[in-house]
């Protein structure tokens, strides 16, 4: 029995609080000035109970298992504020998904130093809670993904130095110097404020690690375009500074005492090519984080495909995951598909590597996502992931 399955058995009974007032409570009180952040054991205004969510008294929430709607990331890629999460797209898929990602940008939530505006996030959580109220037998858990990168607050970018031009998907973007001390300290402070408010909220089941990220929400992904690397080098970025930043990622999320965090791993790009040595080091630290007194850390990768285990850039990462999951006391594992296409072969790979959950791209303009897959098939995959059984095609 894995330690995550063991925790599920040992956790207190599921919270079955009446939900009529919970959506209103989830809205919170809007803008909060945070000069002294409440400790992680406090009961923040954003705390709500969700049908089917485990209680958090004295323990860590059970991680999400099953299929997760990744949510639309269009806003981040186009420099726009994230809209309120709309779970109604899952109305036809009730029971086929166990969770949904609530995406937010750092700039939305901390527009000024130490001054948090929780309203956008509270509104998205309230929308998910409302959906759960309407689907009490098939509730969704929430995974938070807060983007920094392009969407870091302007005051953070200014404090870290002039912006750096990088290229992502043929688009030119300007980002702050995420490897510098002012940027890293601001991100650490924000994460602790976020945890102080939402760590005991049963609706929030996981939090995605975004420390040190630039062009995506993946910490190890640094744009490899020649223009980007030249600009980054001129700004003072080095592989060593990226490694130093990544070494501190678990500390950034140390305020999450009750909520598991998920960490996307990739081989770190170096001048001589992909390197797995440092990635393995951080991956092992993630897997052993809870035992060392840190947050419960779930290892993963956002490039899931049928060929990922043999890919040039992904094979080393998958080998590392295989090594860490070779024992019965294996850490939790999650995946996200490499792109919008969804196929059974990729899902089979996920269960081969003991994944508890898989994020799928939703249908969006120009993207079919999981919309091409029959609901019955999605339900079967969701059930297999939750039960820890293999998916065969």
Q: Give the number of other CB atoms < 10 A from CB of residue 278.
A: 18
**What integer pLDDT is reported at residue 365 of this predicted model?**
81
**What integer pLDDT is reported at residue 58 of this predicted model?**
53
**What integer pLDDT is reported at residue 249 of this predicted model?**
98
Hey, what domains does the chain have and what are their CATH numbers? Answer: 3-8+37-387 (3.20.20)
Q: From first to last of its 393 residues, what are the pLDDT tens digits of the chain?
A: 454 443 443 333 323 323 333 333 343 334 333 333 333 333 333 434 433 444 444 589 999 999 999 998 887 877 788 999 999 999 999 999 999 999 999 999 999 999 999 999 999 999 999 999 999 999 999 999 999 988 999 999 999 999 999 887 667 889 999 999 999 999 999 999 999 999 999 999 999 999 999 888 999 999 878 888 899 999 999 999 999 999 999 999 999 999 999 999 999 876 666 677 899 999 999 999 999 999 999 999 999 999 999 998 899 999 999 999 998 889 999 999 998 888 999 999 999 999 999 999 999 888 889 999 999 999 999 999 999 999 999
**What integer pLDDT is reported at residue 80 of this predicted model?**
82
**What integer pLDDT is reported at residue 273 of this predicted model?**
63
**What integer pLDDT is reported at residue 272 of this predicted model?**
62
């Amino acid at each position: 029995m894995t330690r995550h399955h063991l925790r599920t058995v040992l956790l207190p009974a599921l919270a079955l609080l009446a939900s009529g007032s919970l959506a209103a409570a989830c809205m919170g009180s809007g803008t909060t000035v945070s000069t002294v952040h409440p400790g992680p054991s406090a009961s923040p205004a954003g705390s709500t109970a969700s049908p089917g969510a485990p209680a958090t008294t004295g323990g860590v929430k059970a991680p999400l298992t099953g299929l997760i709607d990744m949510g639309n990331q269009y806003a981040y890629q186009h420099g726009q504020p994230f809209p309120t999460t709309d779970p109604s797209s899952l109305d036809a898929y009730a029971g086929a998904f166990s969770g949904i990602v609530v995406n937010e940008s750092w700039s939305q939530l901390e527009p000024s130093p130490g001054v948090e505006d929780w309203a956008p996030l509270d509104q998205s959580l309230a929308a998910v809670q409302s959906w759960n109220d309407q689907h009490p037998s098939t509730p969704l858990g929430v995974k938070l993904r807060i983007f920094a990168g392009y969407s870091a607050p302007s005051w953070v970018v200014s404090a870290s130095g002039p912006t750096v031009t990088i290229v992502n998907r043929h688009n030119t973007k300007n980002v702050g110097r995420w490897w510098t001390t002012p940027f890293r300290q601001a991100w650490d402070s924000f994460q602790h404020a976020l945890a102080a408010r939402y760590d005991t909220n049963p609706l929030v089941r996981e939090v995605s690690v975004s420390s040190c990220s630039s062009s995506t929400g993946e910490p190890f992904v640094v744009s490899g375009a020649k223009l980007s690397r030249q600009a980054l080098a001129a700004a003072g970025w080095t592989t060593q500074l990226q490694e130093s930043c990544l070494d501190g990622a678990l500390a950034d999320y140390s305020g999450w005492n009750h909520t598991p965090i998920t960490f996307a791993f990739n081989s770190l790009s170096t001048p001589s090519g992909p390197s797995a040595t440092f990635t393995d080091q951080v991956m092992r630290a993630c897997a052993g984080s809870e035992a060392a007194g840190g947050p419960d850390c779930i290892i993963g990768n956002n490039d899931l495909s049928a060929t990922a285990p043999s890919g040039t850039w992904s094979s080393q990462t998958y080998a590392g995951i295989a090594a860490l999951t070779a024992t019965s006391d294996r850490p939790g594992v999650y995946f996200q598909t490499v792109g919008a296409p969804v196929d059974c072969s990729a899902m089979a790979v996920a269960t081969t590597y003991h994944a508890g959950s898989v994020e799928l791209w939703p249908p969006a303009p120009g993207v079919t996502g999981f919309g091409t897959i029959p609901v019955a098939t999605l339900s079967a995959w969701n059930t297999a992931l939750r039960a820890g059984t293999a998916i065969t095609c």
